[in-house]
Structure 1
Amino acid sequence: MSVFILPQSIVKEVEKLCRLFLWGASGKCSKLHLASWHQVCLPKAYGGLGFRDGASWNIALLAKYVWAISEKQDLLWVKWIKVIYLKGVNFWNCVMKQDSSWYWRKLCHLRSKFSKREVLAAGISGKFKPSKLYNSTINQQLVEYKNAIWGRTILPKHRFLLWQVVNSYLLTKDNLARFNIQLNRLTCPVCEYHLESHNHLFFDCCHSKRIMSFIFAWLGFQAWSSNYNDWVVRLNIGQSGIMDSILNLVLAAVIYSIWRNRNKCIFYGYSLTASCIAKEVITLVKYRLYIVHNRKISPQHKLFIRKLQCN
């Protein structure tokens, strides 16, 4: 991609392999998922997963040649271009000739994809940053939950699930019903009383509440709201202190464990007790907190972490 403009058929095949890797495969098709490929290809700061849209990324990579010509870099091929094609004319104003090479025509066509200002802005300290140019074309608002979800303290698989929960992308039964998928029951597979939704499964279900009570008792205070919407608002505040990192770590581990237990109920027909799940979460968090010791934190926070690891 950094050398040639790839055929669209190849780009689509690469993207197909990425989708199969991300969501899993059923035959030659990716499994059912709610997140669009456009959403997945957004940077994490804009609410996506940081994948790249193949065609746009291909063009952004090739724009480095346009930047080198515009900046008149001291390169042999740039000097050759100036003598053969430009002949004293600015690249952005030059007219393609019929006998121009295929590659030169492709470079000239890139002028319709980006403005001169955008290309030059992607050059930082004498180096071209294709990601900066790629992001400049995104017409999307920044999300505030980026630091809360993608913090290094949280386990990678927990981050991915937490991203889905925040955006209501999990395949809960209320979401499956939207696709007219026939289900025997729409009730929560854990408590079997209420319609399964993100709000119910993680916050209203009696089993989840018992897990939360064990976790709150271990923490020594109530770390987050017991309401789904209020919890999403809390994540969008965008706090990045050490206490927020710890609470987000705990929350991500709790949500992951609840979702895994829900799947056990559906596929294996049994559920772990709330105390057993809470113990698993606490053990995982205790080990994960060791990576925080290397950070520069206050004695008060160090004492709080030691208490958690000793309890």
Structure 2
Amino acid sequence: MGLRRVSTIRVAADGRWYDRIKAVECPPPNGNPITDFCSKLRHLKSLIKTSDWASSNSVQKYLDNLHKIQANYLDKIAADPMNPTLNANLKSVNTKITEFSSHLASWIIQRAKAKWLSHGEDDLKFLYAKIRARNSKKNSVTNLSSFGTSQQNNIQNIISHFQSIYNPPPLADMNLAQFPIGDTIDYTMASALIQQVTDAEIKKAVFSGSSSSAPGPDGAIIPKTILKTIRKLSSKFLFFGDIGTTHKLHMVSWDKVCLPKSCGGLGLLTPSALQFGFNCSLISRIYNFSTPLSRWLLKRYTSPWRPPPANASKFWRMLCVTASTAKPHFNFRITPLAPIAFFWDHWTSVVGLADSFHASLDAYVGEFINDKQWVLPLDLDPNISNSIKAIPIYEESKYCLLWDNTELGCFGSYVKVFHDNIPTSNWANHLWFKGCSLRYSAFAWFCLIGDLKTAEALKTRNIYIDSICPLCRLDSESSRHLFFECQYSFNIILKLIPQANSLLLRPNAPQFFDWLDDLNCNADMLHLHKLITCCSIYLIWKERNDRRYGGNSKC
């Protein structure tokens, strides 16, 4: 066993890494291979620790030495200020200090840029951690090997001990040629990177994309505090028409308002529903379109149905949750070039596939297809092999990930799945029909969900008003009573819809809408009856307010 699998070591330009590895690797194995490999690693470690390497620590130590020399010359010049030799030497030392300070600053800046480019904004925490560590209180250290000495000596001994272990020895000659330059960009390419972007290039980048997608970043994670603020502003604007209003009461929650109309809401989309729809759309595009983003995500994470690793981003974790929720609606169609993960994607119903196959967990289905035929291991269980071979391979298929066994899903179908676990309402089509009036349907919706501020509803919130119905002055006021168990309101509906005379008892609003569905009439007449009912609810509620708060009645 050699050291050729140590792939993380980069060979320096001067070949010193290669020479040390070659020196360790050259002796043939002797005895147990594992023991020989461990001894070679120890030998390589000792060679690395005892070698002279260029580092920022060496530059810093050299700068400290220059500052000491500078202070020495300043003391001598203070005693003999006109000595030309001392002044010339001081000038030379100052020049070296300026030069190496610039090199040290450049070294640190380039290292910070490399960290930023590698880790992005998530790596800001290392900067603040350094600042907090430097500003923190000094911890008391006790050196058990030197009992009785001062604390300062203990600290200095500990620092010296670990410096001798981990820090390489300083360079004998501070020659800048020993410091590796690293990866650089060719001068001809650098000019193209720093030149100004023109308006024509911006227009080309914006309008050359797909007409079905908006330019800009495809998705982001909005903080929860911003989502709460958006909810508050949206609810105030919808219920009161003013986002600056305060201390006004509304009886229905914003979550219920944002439900689909079929579930008893108004069909407004929340940021969570929009994010779910976007995630489903992104999952579909990852599999069906080969883009730099899709290739990078599949290379890094293999599949959204694979458990995310510990270092996965928040966005990918959210994408995995969406994929798990919408899993019953995503269906795979096998094609030779499809990026379908063999072990993680639900392209087959075979159970225990990972226990039967001896393949990489990152393997794709296309690796087991050759010339439109399945190529499976010969020692595979016959039942599993027959089940896989029964799955057809589509050579000419355009898409490999379908939505409900159709081509591609639309955004509306994605959002609909977000509310799958919410029961549907049987009165939604009574309010939101073709030709409905938004004002009357909205008040009918308030009535059916219990948002009208009746005496019964206010009592549950510890607000007490006269509980007697102001229309009939007979029973307690509630939404069920006002529409249409109240004798006053029921007489109105009888005048407008004479067929209601067949009712034996005065119904409430949901019962009356159900009765309209059973009414033997054509579609136009049914829409007219629904419009009349919604209009009656609005006008009856207006009459109730006039009688209760205005002290007058119109009829």
Equivalences for residues 1-311 of structure 1 within 5 A: 3-24=219-240, 28-29=245-246, 31-69=248-286, 71-82=287-298, 85=300, 89-93=302-306, 96=309, 98=311, 106-115=315-324, 117-118=327-328, 120=330, 123=403, 127-138=408-419, 139-183=421-465, 185-216=466-497, 221-222=499-500, 225=503, 226-228=506-508, 230-234=511-515, 241-273=523-555
CA–CA separation in structure 2 for the residues paired with 1:134 and 1:128:
10
The letter for the 2-side match of 1:254 is S
Determine if contact 1:202/1:208 at 8 Å carries over to the other structure.
Answer: yes
State the shift of 1:12 in Å. 1.1
The letter for the 1-side match of 2:499 is F
Could you tell me the TM-score, scaled by structure 1's length?
Answer: 0.70
Query: C-alpha root-mean-square deviation of aligned residues, in Å?
Result: 3.3
Paired residue for 2:79?
none
Segments of 5+ residues of structure 1 without an aligned counterpart are 274-311
CA–CA separation in structure 1 for the residues paired with 2:230 and 2:518:
36
| Cα displacement string for residues 157-192 of structure 1 (whole angstroms, at most 9, x for unaligned residues) | 111111222233311111111212132x21122343
Q: Which stretch of structure 1 is more off in the superposition, 24-33 or 206-215?
A: 24-33
Greater relative CO, 1 or 2 (CA 8 Å, sep 6+): 1
Could you tell me the TM-score, scaled by structure 2's length?
Answer: 0.42
State the shift of 1:141 in Å. 1.7
Indicate how the Cα distance of structure 1 residues 142 and 176 shifts in structure 2: closer, same or farther if over 3 A, else same. Answer: same
| Cα displacement string for residues 3-49 of structure 1 (whole angstroms, at most 9, x for unaligned residues) | 21111111111111121122226964473233223322211111111
- 3-state DSSP of counterpart to 2:330: helix
CA–CA separation in structure 1 for the residues paired with 2:315 and 2:519:
43
> How many residues align structurally?
261
CA–CA separation in structure 2 for the residues paired with 1:52 and 1:198:
28
CA–CA separation in structure 2 for the residues paired with 1:56 and 1:10:
16
Report which of the two structures shows the higher radius of gyration computed on alpha carbons: 2
CA–CA separation in structure 2 for the residues paired with 1:246 and 1:51:
26
Paired residue for 1:297?
none
CA–CA separation in structure 1 for the residues paired with 2:501 and 2:236:
36
CA–CA separation in structure 1 for the residues paired with 2:542 and 2:277:
39
CA–CA separation in structure 1 for the residues paired with 2:278 and 2:501:
44
State the shift of 1:223 in Å. 7.5
Identity of aligned pairs, percent?
23
The letter for the 2-side match of 1:205 is C
CA–CA separation in structure 1 for the residues paired with 2:452 and 2:438:
17
Indicate how the Cα distance of structure 1 residues 154 and 95 shifts in structure 2: closer, same or farther if over 3 A, else same. Answer: closer
